[in-house]
Amino acid sequence: MMTSIAIVEDNPSIRRSLQEWVNSAPDYRCISTFGDAETALQEIPKLKPDVVLMDIQLPGKSGIACTARLKSVLPELQIIVVTVYRDRDLLFQALKAGACGYLLKRSSPEEILRAISEVRSGGAPMTGEIARMVVETFQKPATEALPPAELSARETEILDLVAKGLTNKEIGPKLNIGYDTVRAHLRRIYEKLHVRCRTEAVMKYSQTFAGPPK
């Protein structure tokens, strides 16, 4: 099945390169590109792409604000931030806004295409050093006690496997449930934890219990 992709990037050269990389893959198609958040917010809800590659630094509204708005109207949309910034605060702002991946612009074409494949399979791709930031944050002791989320035993099992890096397709056979059932459980987990993607769900659960779910 063809995966449709939109690109939000203000640098014409980078935007063109991303478009060429996407269209070079047989199962991917770039259906539109945008140089600013305002135009993207008008057109992406109409186009309904499967994945958006999103820059952070845009003229006018930021890519983080654009991500939050898009996720509010298209909850199933997968957004991968592609940026030059390695800033911890921007990373977590982007994840909180609903981004499900965070790559640096020096990523290779292969890494970009692999990231698209990962989010389509339920993963949360990140450049290595970005992933390390997340791990280091998990390893810090909790500074504030948060009320525990009321997750069912099955939801806790699924979140535990998500925290271990398993995709939706891998979780199903582990628990003897179907792919759609895994997705349904994840949607309920997101609602209960008040988050928008699997990465943020793991982060919040880890902070709540001062470590990954057991």
State how far the Cα of 82 lies from the Cα of 174, in Å rounded to an integer. Answer: 32
Q: What architecture (CATH level 2) is domain 3-137? A: 3-Layer(aba) Sandwich (3.40)
pLDDT at 145: 42
Taking residues 88-104, what's their average pLDDT?
Answer: 83
Reported as a pLDDT band with limits 50, 70 and 90, residue 124 is confident
Please provide the average confidence, as pLDDT, over all residues in the chain. Answer: 83
* Count of CB atoms situated within 10 Å of the CB of 211: 14
Q: Residues 55, 56, 58, 60: is their CA dihedral positive or negative?
A: positive
Q: For 30-85, how does the pLDDT look when each residue is reduced to its tens digit (9 = 90+)? A: 999 999 999 999 999 999 999 999 999 899 899 999 999 999 999 999 999 998 87
Q: For 19-29, how does the pLDDT look when each residue is reduced to its tens digit (9 = 90+)? A: 999 999 999 99
Reported as a pLDDT band with limits 50, 70 and 90, residue 207 is low
Q: Which CATH number fits domain 142-209: 3.40.50.300, 3.30.530.20, 1.10.10.10, 3.40.190.10?
A: 1.10.10.10
Q: For 152-170, how does the pLDDT look when each residue is reduced to its tens digit (9 = 90+)? A: 889 888 888 887 777 788 8
In this prediction the pTM is: 0.65
Amino acid at 147: P
State how far the Cα of 133 lies from the Cα of 140, in Å rounded to an integer. Answer: 11
The domain spans of the chain are 3-137, 142-209
pLDDT at 127: 67
Helices (H), 25-178: 37-47, 63-73, 88-97, 109-120, 128-139, 153-163, 168-175
State how far the Cα of 112 lies from the Cα of 82, in Å rounded to an integer. Answer: 9
Q: Check whether 117 has a pLDDT greater than 60.
A: yes
